[in-house]
A and B are shown apart, each in its own frame.
Chain A
């Protein structure tokens, strides 16, 4: 199973872009990169996922390097409500059930 490495914490000024990196150097060709966040002990919330190509939705953008060994989650205009722990997850499993393996994540603090 591919593991991920993220910085423990990051800061960002409100209104600026928050760029959260993740390393997953052992990722397999059929594994997706998922990002979730957890706001103050609430249930985790799905943000975005991707396989090879860059992805964008209403919450964020996901940039995956060409070799797929790392990715960056971008919150284009961070707000105070984006303060949360962000988890980068490689979704494992072949067919059947695909487990989510959560690491410690990155604690993002957005300040005024």
Chain B
């Protein structure tokens, strides 16, 4: 099993550019999430999804869009990148039972100049 796969691993964008961070999982997990981590800080939840066609906002959703058309994929879109979005982005998936652990991808390091 590949687990949770994020692409790309690194990306540099210019202010105002758009891009999509990809996240795919092969564990048939219903729940998927996107987090960002700024230097020296813990992770903050951006958006999450409890199943195909269902998404909701986390604590820092502004500037990001998501969609969930399949169980496997949960892309994160930046419509107009800003320097404040420079961060490391992590995708996670988990089964719906509360009593289990989340699996995280290895992250995408994004720099907006």
Interface residues of A (CB under 8 A from B): 32, 34, 41-46, 49, 87, 91, 93, 96-105
| B98 x A43 contact (CB < 8 A) | no
In the complex, A44→B105 CA distance in Å? Answer: 8
| A99 CB to nearest chain B CB (Å) | 6
| B42 x A98 contact (CB < 8 A) | no
In the complex, A83→B92 CA distance in Å? Answer: 22
| B102 x A42 contact (CB < 8 A) | no
In the complex, A44→B101 CA distance in Å? Answer: 11
Interface residues on chain B, number (Cβ under 8 Å) = 27
Contacts beyond the supplied A42-B106, A46-B102, A96-B50: 17 A-B pairs with Cβ under 8 Å = A32-B98, A42-B107, A43-B105, A43-B107, A46-B103, A49-B101, A93-B98, A97-B50, A97-B96, A98-B98, A99-B33, A99-B48, A100-B102, A102-B43, A102-B44, A104-B42, A105-B42
B29-51 near A? 1/0 per residue, CB < 8 Å = 00101010000111111001010
| B45 x A99 contact (CB < 8 A) | yes
Q: Is B1 at the interface (CB under 8 A from chain A)?
A: no
Partner of B45, one of A34, A100, A104: A100
B1-25 near A? 1/0 per residue, CB < 8 Å = 0001000000000000000000000
In the complex, A17→B31 CA distance in Å? Answer: 35
